[in-house]
Amino acid sequence: MKKKEIVLKGIPASPGITIGKAFLFGREQYTIPRRNIKEDYIQNEIKRFKDALVQTKNEIMEIKKRISEEMGIEHGQIFSAHLLVIDDSMLIEEVITRLKREKLSIEYIFQDVLRKYIKVFSEMDDEYLKERISDINDVGRRILKNLIGAKEDVLSNLKEKVVVVAYDLSPSDTATMHKKNVTAFATDIGGRTSHTAIMAKSLEIPAVVGLESLTKAVESGDEIIIDGTRGMVIINPLPKTLKKYETDRERFVAFEKHLLEAKNLPCITLDGRKVELAANIEVPEDVTSVISHGASGIGLYRTEYFYMNRKELPTEEIQYRAYSIVAKKIKPESVIIRTLDIGGDKFLSQLEVPQQMNPFLGWRAIRFCLARPDIFKVQLRAILRASAHGKLKVMYPMISGLEELRQANAILEEVKKDLRKDSVPFDEEMEVGAMIEVPSAAITSDILAKEVDFFSIGTNDLIQYSLAVDRVNEKIAYLYEPAHPAVLRLIKTVIENGHNAGIWIGMCGEMAGDISMTIILLGLGLDEFSTSPIAIPEIKRIIRSVTVRQAKEIAHEAITLPTGKEVEKFARKKLKEIVPDLAIEVE
Ligand code: PEP
Ligand code: MG
């Protein structure tokens, strides 16, 4: 009898569509019989146990190293907790004492001790200790695998392509899955930012998490569709469902192919002008997507993430390692690290910024850092130290005038002096830039340009400040117009002033990824666009389809138009003429 189609909705964790065979990955893979052993075997059992611990430790260190290199130190750290479990002398002693007393096989005793540990931890009130259960479980299974001499992890030893379905996947499960036969995965638990979700993105395979009852509904061998874009899972699809998803998958594959084709093409105009097309990131893991979308470097690395989800302030070491990883991965291209931009809509729990009447106009970004040089210096030291490993640049957010810029630069100089004194290497030539996101900075950009190496226009804030439109207020969203003549004039001023002073100008606000504005910005002379990785292929295609002369003419005309609506209409018309087959609908 044909099985019933079951449709489940979860949380989209990694985009794409896979149609395949389900593989139900469970926890209880090893059945350990209770077996008596002779007295003279005890030493042998102890040796086997110790060997298994060493082998497990080596495996985990290997995984830790690989994950730290590929995904960032934060993810590698997960395995430090695993190493602590292996080195837990209480657990080891208890196993050996019981072995001597009960004379049962080491596997059996170890499994039993492990179960008791897990029970004790699960009854604790402390949330942190409760979370350690998954570490103990994960390491315990690995030690057992090595004790019974199971050759390889199930997930790294799959003989055919499968879709992994599990209640949850531990870091060590996902780590062993790497580039193997797993074409997608789906789990009962997990959220959008859970480790599993992040890992799926890094593996670039479709994934859906948080499906709650999936493992109860599916059996190994069932046909299954994973739609990681919409967060859907369909078990035993009907022919018509299958047909629909096959078409969707083809479309997605064609889109990816299009991305891939554009990936290695240079970002130059039809008449040969090279334009820097960089990406914005928030965490080191985003680098995978930056590279796969063909960006030339990182134009904005927002660093607020370090200060979130943490009880303590991030140490110099943590920041240094993350910046170094990103610098090394992006090398020889450059990475622009923006110093802490707390305040406005970015509240960070451990930094006690008081409630303010006008947070966007208040104690924010560089204003906060200048008032707290203790915090600012830690970040600058980490950035400078990491600059020895690649091409890093630094920029300050929300500069409103020359004095702020000078103060920030003076602190940077102090940090450099300290590093020189301690003989710590850093890039003496590291470029320093200012974000231009406050109208006063845009208007006085001729003055600021003399004391920086570059500008990066932060349109998200520049628009809200110049049009007096709160960027997070839905009610007045209709007034938030990137194409407003005032905004275009400010951008034009900044680019002209910067060029007159001999510096380059980038843009890292959302406007840089708005395809209807690309030609105008190019025509105004913008040197670098930095946007989210997914917007990059289309922006590149537009830049490759136009000459600088055409772009200049269009920008020239656009800037004479009296309203934002008219600018936008004109820009879209021109874009359609120049690139008739856009992948994204602009009307
Ligand atoms: C901007 O303001 O344009 C910008 C890039 O910074 P953020 O969005 O982080 O304020
Ligand atoms: Mg900003």
**Looking at residue 227, which CATH number applies to its domain?**
3.50.30.10
Domain end point (choices 116, 148, 180):
148
Q: Structure tokens of 580?
A: 């008739």
332 within domain boundaries: yes
More confident residue, 205 or 507: 507
pLDDT exceeds 60 at position 103: yes
Measured from the Cα of 304, ligand 1's closest atom is: 9
DSSP string, 394-416: EEESS--SHHHHHHHHHHHHHHH
More confident residue, 43 or 172: 43
138 and 212 part of one domain:
no
The pLDDT value given to residue 81: 77
221 and 99 part of one domain:
no
pLDDT exceeds 80 at position 298: yes
pLDDT exceeds 60 at position 304: yes
Output b/e per residue, 437-449; b: 16+ Cβ within 10 A.
Answer: bbbebbebbeebb
pLDDT exceeds 70 at position 115: yes
Closest residue to atom 8 of ligand 1, CA basis: 460
Domain holding 19, by residue range, is 6-27+153-237
Q: How far apart are CA 178 and CA 174, in angstroms?
A: 7
Residue 271 CA to ligand 1 centre (angstroms): 32
Output b/e per residue, 544-557; b: 16+ Cβ within 10 A.
Answer: bbbebebbbebbee
Q: Residue 398: nearest ligand to its CA?
A: 2
Amino acid at 259: L
Measured from the Cα of 511, ligand 1's closest atom is: 3
Q: How far apart are CA 126 and CA 123, in angstroms?
A: 9
Measured from the Cα of 341, ligand 1's closest atom is: 9
Q: Residue 462: nearest ligand to its CA?
A: 1
310 and 455 part of one domain:
yes
Alpha carbons within 13 A on the beta-carbon side of 528 = 29
The pLDDT value given to residue 586: 47
585 confidence band (pLDDT: 50, 70, 90) = very low
DSSP state at residue 155: G
Average pLDDT estimate for 199-216? 83
Q: Structure tokens of 13?
A: 């964790």
Measured from the Cα of 302, ligand 1's closest atom is: 9
> Which domain CATH number covers 61?
1.10.274.10
Burial of 518 (0-12, 13-18, 19+ CB in 10 A): buried
The pLDDT value given to residue 400: 98
The pLDDT value given to residue 426: 98
Cα distances from 450 to residues 26, 507, 534, in angstroms, run 63, 19, 34
190 and 176 part of one domain:
yes
The pLDDT value given to residue 30: 65
**In this structure, which residues have their CB less than 5 angstroms from ion ligand 2?**
437, 458, 461
The sign of the dihedral angle between the CA atoms of 306, 453, 492, 580 is negative
443 within domain boundaries: yes
Measured torsion, CA atoms of residues 522, 496, 342, 368, in degrees rounded to the nearest 10: 170
How many CB atoms within 10 Å of residue 562?
8
How many CB atoms within 10 Å of residue 353?
17
DSSP string, 496-544: HHHHHTT-EEEE-SGGGG-GGGHHHHHHHT--EEEE-GGGHHHHHHHHH
Q: Residue 487: nearest ligand to its CA?
A: 1
485 within domain boundaries: yes
353 confidence band (pLDDT: 50, 70, 90) = low
276 and 224 part of one domain:
no
Query: pLDDT per residue over 121-154, tens digit each?
Result: 777 766 666 667 777 888 888 888 888 876 556 7
Average pLDDT estimate for 229-238? 92
Average pLDDT estimate for 562-568? 97
141 and 180 part of one domain:
no
The pLDDT value given to residue 36: 86
Closest residue to atom 6 of ligand 1, CA basis: 458
246 within domain boundaries: no
> Which domain CATH number covers 290?
3.20.20.60
Q: Is 267 a catalytic residue?
A: no
pLDDT exceeds 50 at position 584: no
449 confidence band (pLDDT: 50, 70, 90) = very high
Q: Residue 456: nearest ligand to its CA?
A: 1
The sign of the dihedral angle between the CA atoms of 479, 484, 485, 486 is positive
- 189 sits in which H/E element: none
The pLDDT value given to residue 550: 98
Closest residue to atom 1 of ligand 1, CA basis: 458
| 265 φ/ψ sector (left φ>0, alpha ψ -120 to 50, else beta) | beta
1 within domain boundaries: no
563 within domain boundaries: yes
Q: Is 195 a catalytic residue?
A: yes
192 confidence band (pLDDT: 50, 70, 90) = low
From 435, 436, 531, the mutation candidate for ligand 1 (largest count of ligand atoms within 8 A of CB) is 435
288 confidence band (pLDDT: 50, 70, 90) = confident
Sequence-distant (≥ 6) Cβ neighbours of residue 388 within 8 angstroms:
425, 426, 427
168 and 139 part of one domain:
no
Query: pLDDT per residue over 465-476, tens digit each?
Result: 999 998 877 778
What's the gap between Cα 201 and its chain centre? 9
251 within domain boundaries: no
Domain end point (choices 130, 148, 166):
148
Average pLDDT estimate for 249-267? 81
Of the chain, the percentage scoring pLDDT greater than 90 comes to 54
pLDDT exceeds 60 at position 116: yes
Average pLDDT estimate for 364-370? 94
Residue 306 CA to ligand 2 centre (angstroms): 17
pLDDT exceeds 50 at position 19: yes
pLDDT exceeds 70 at position 447: yes
Measured from the Cα of 460, ligand 1's closest atom is: 3
Residue 185 CA to ligand 2 centre (angstroms): 36
Residue for token pair 């607020």: 304
201 and 323 part of one domain:
no
Measured from the Cα of 397, ligand 1's closest atom is: 6
- The binding-site residues of ligand 1, defined as CB within 6 angstroms of any ligand atom, are 300, 302, 341, 437, 458-461, 508-509
68 and 141 part of one domain:
yes
Measured torsion, CA atoms of residues 515, 518, 521, 523, in degrees rounded to the nearest 10: -150
Of the chain, the percentage scoring pLDDT greater than 70 comes to 90
**Helix, strand, coil share of the chain (percent; to 5):** 55, 15, 30
Beta bridge partners of 455: 434, 505
200 within domain boundaries: yes
* SS3 label, residue 241: helix
pLDDT exceeds 50 at position 587: no
pLDDT exceeds 50 at position 224: yes
The pLDDT value given to residue 147: 85
Q: Is the pTM of this model over 0.85?
A: no
Sequence-distant (≥ 6) Cβ neighbours of residue 528 within 8 angstroms:
275, 276, 277, 278, 299, 456, 504, 505, 506, 507
Q: Average pLDDT over the chain, rounded to whole? A: 88
Alpha carbons within 13 A on the beta-carbon side of 164 = 31
The pLDDT value given to residue 2: 67
Sequence-distant (≥ 6) Cβ neighbours of residue 387 within 8 angstroms:
327, 426, 427, 430
Catalytic residue from among 75, 82, 195, 293: 195
Residue 397 CA to ligand 1 centre (angstroms): 8
**Domain tally for the chain?**
3
Residue 316 CA to ligand 2 centre (angstroms): 24
181 and 218 part of one domain:
yes
Q: How far apart are CA 194 and CA 440, in angstroms?
A: 41
345 and 374 part of one domain:
yes
Query: pLDDT per residue over 46-62, tens digit each?
Result: 999 999 999 999 888 88
Measured from the Cα of 280, ligand 1's closest atom is: 5
Residue 284 CA to ligand 2 centre (angstroms): 20
Measured torsion, CA atoms of residues 190, 111, 45, 96, in degrees rounded to the nearest 10: 100
The sign of the dihedral angle between the CA atoms of 282, 284, 286, 289 is positive
pLDDT exceeds 80 at position 179: no
The pLDDT value given to residue 3: 79
363 and 279 part of one domain:
yes
pLDDT exceeds 80 at position 77: no
The sign of the dihedral angle between the CA atoms of 130, 136, 141, 144 is negative
Residue 461 CA to ligand 1 centre (angstroms): 6
Closest residue to atom 5 of ligand 1, CA basis: 509
From 283, 298, 301, 302, the mutation candidate for ligand 1 (largest count of ligand atoms within 8 A of CB) is 302
Residue 16 CA to ligand 2 centre (angstroms): 31
Cα distances from 284 to residues 302, 426, 475, 511, in angstroms, run 10, 20, 35, 23
Domain end point (choices 103, 127, 148):
148
